[in-house]
Amino acid sequence: MKLRNYQRRAIDSLDGYWREKKGSHPIIVAGTGSGKSVIQAFFIKETIKAYPTARILCVTHVKELIEQNHERFHGIWHDAPSGVYSAGLKRRDDAQIMFAGIQSIYKKAFDFDKFDLLMVDEAHLIPKKGTGMYKTFIDNLLMVNPKMKIIGLTASPFRLDGGSLIAGDGALFDGLSCHITIKELIEQHFLTPLTAKEGIAHIETSKLTTQNGEYRTADVEKAFAENSTTDLALSEVIELGKERKSWMVFCASVKHCNEVAEKLNERGIPTIAVHGELPPNEREKAIGGFKNYEYRCIVSVNILTTGFDVEQVDMIALMRSTQSASLYLQICGRGMRLCEGKSDCLVLDFGENILNHGAVDEIVERQLEMGGRRKGKKGEPVLKRCPSCEFMCFAATRICPNCGDKFDISTLPKIQQEAARLAILSSEREKREEWFDVTGVTYDIHNKPGKPSSMKVSYFSGNLQSFSEWICLDHQGFARKKAVQWIKERADVNDSLLSTEEMVRFGKKGKIREPDQIKVLTGRKYPEIVGFSFV
């Protein structure tokens, strides 16, 4: 097997990390489908070649991943001195290179000769606080060998329950050695791109309460039960998925999961529910049936977000909401593996997850920039509309870049209940700058209680489409300067007439030059005019 260029880069980054003495415990961030098991296997083989007596332990949380990682390793190094320690796989080997399940081995740190290197796959599952299995095991291993190095492998350097793996209290790893981004994997055709739509029948996260950093399950379940939201959402799933082969639906609770599976089966969609209350043998049988196309849809709650690699998945429905950007990333990753005949994976969002977390391929960068902190209050979306001029800006913005008004950060923005195509990848946003012919323009005064007036300019393209912008002549500072520039580019007018009321009159009399075309950024919930063409 030949390493891909980014896999080679990841392996080399570890040697560079230690050589530059940045720390002893680096983490590699690599998106779903990047081949973390290949990176791990080649690194181990090269390490043993350089240090023949080194002992290496690879730990993860589910037997499927343990088996997968071990098999991939032996596919690369056939006669490797390796073994498996996992109760689920009914093996308890003691070897120079071991692949183990954390549940099986965490009490056994003193039962083996010292390990020189520990590799943790799916490191984002290490909990933030407490004396859990990982912390207990790692603390004991370091007692046996204080010089042991630890390497983390994950799609996100932030825990599912919030908090950084590389900074702050309780951080196990001391730095990032390599980041293989989703964007580069898609651009190099190693991942399938995503496309997304927000369901008409979606719930509003601003109405949900939070418990331990996550929406209360009972609230999410109740929200889907109200106003027949589940039934309406499933109608959309069936309609939008009719050309899709393999569906995954993520639900709010076990009860909701079983309900959704039952309703889909009643509507003629062969569906199986998989959750934590299902016995392991039944779970394996269900997953196997889905892989073999016996079921068109698999419905899950709180599992199948990692270690579930079914290439044919081409539609994912989020009938739940989460405040965890890492969980959102893991869920979307289930549909990004390459498969013959699959051009993309459709993500249907009924829980405002895309609105709240933004483009999947920007999640890690945003997390790193914010140090793992929450965006803000629960349910606060990545984008919000200015209450004064209705300009769309990022949720963290305190002053509107269009009109200059300050946001009242004590209140949450209202989210419209309407169907929308959302940009789940940043490239979708870029590609959706579209030109529209202008067939008509209207000018109106836009009033907000306690705020200066602005001029709402609406551009019509045919009979069914319109796009608007707000010109803030009655505001102060940058907003007025921007508005004056807009007017002077389109009308011959004295400065004394530069008011919202006068300009509306000018517009209605045809004294404002109007574009023949406008360029609109349509890859977001609220389209934004970003360019004009005048003959």
338-346: average pLDDT: 90
Q: Higher model confidence: residue 339 or residue 132?
A: 339
- What angle do the packed helices 36-50 and 5-19 form, to 10 degrees? 50
349 and 489 fall within a common domain:
no
Within-domain flag for 388: no
Q: Are residues 109 and 165 in the same domain?
A: yes
**Pairing of the two strands 271-274 and 297-300:** parallel
How high is the pLDDT of residue 277?
Answer: 87
Phi, psi of 433 (to 5 degrees): -85, 105
Answer yes or no: is 469 within a domain. yes
Mean pLDDT, all residues of the chain: 83
368 and 328 in a single domain? The answer is yes
HEC string of 82-148 equals EEEEECCCCEECCCCEEEEEHHHHCCCHHHCCCCCEEEEECHHHCCCCCCCHHHHHHHHHHHHCCCC
Q: Is the pLDDT of residue 535 over 60?
A: yes
Are 436 and 421 members of one domain?
no
Q: How confident is the model at residue 40 (pLDDT cuts 50, 70, 90)?
A: very high
What's the CATH number where 53 sits?
3.40.50.300
Same domain, 154 and 211: no
Neighbours of 501 (CB within 10 A): 13
Q: Are residues 361 and 496 in the same domain?
A: no
**Residue 401 pLDDT grade (very low, low, confident, very high; cuts 50, 70, 90):** low
The reported pLDDT for the residue numbered 485 is 85
Residue 444 belongs to a domain: yes
Which of 115, 148, 180 is at the close of a domain? 180
Cα separation, 199 vs 201, whole angstroms: 5
- Residue with tokens 């959704």, as numbered in its chain: 260
Element of type H or E holding 68: helix 63-76
Query: DSSP labels for 409-450?
Result: TTSPPP-----EEE-SSHHHHHHTEEEEE--EEEEEEE--TT
Clarify whether residues 166 and 217 are in a common domain: no
Are 266 and 318 within one domain? yes
Same-domain pairing of 243 and 123: no
β-partners of residue 194 are 345
Of the two residues 411 and 9, the one the predictor is more confident about is: 9
Question: Is 350 a domain residue?
Answer: yes
Q: What is the rounded average pLDDT of the residues 183-199?
A: 87
Q: Is 105 among the domain residues?
A: yes
Same domain, 98 and 210: no
Does residue 410 have a pLDDT over 60?
no
Question: Is 373 a member of any domain?
Answer: yes
Give residue 98's domain range.
Answer: 5-180
Q: Is residue 385 part of a domain?
A: no
pLDDT tier for residue 393 given thresholds of 50, 70 and 90: low
CA-based nearest residue to 394, from 403, 385, 383: 383
Q: Which of 145, 180, 215 is the last residue of a domain?
A: 180
pLDDT score at 166:
79
Say whether both 453 and 466 belong to one domain.
yes
Cα–Cα dist 59/49, whole Å: 21
> Mean pLDDT throughout 412-434?
53
Choose the final residue of a domain: 147, 180, 213. 180
Q: What is the pLDDT of residue 53?
A: 95
Instruction: Judge if 282 and 345 occupy the same domain.
Output: yes
**Could you tell me if residue 406 is inside a domain?**
no
How many structural domains compose the chain? 3
Q: Where are the beta strands (DSSP E) in 16-76?
A: 26-30, 56-60
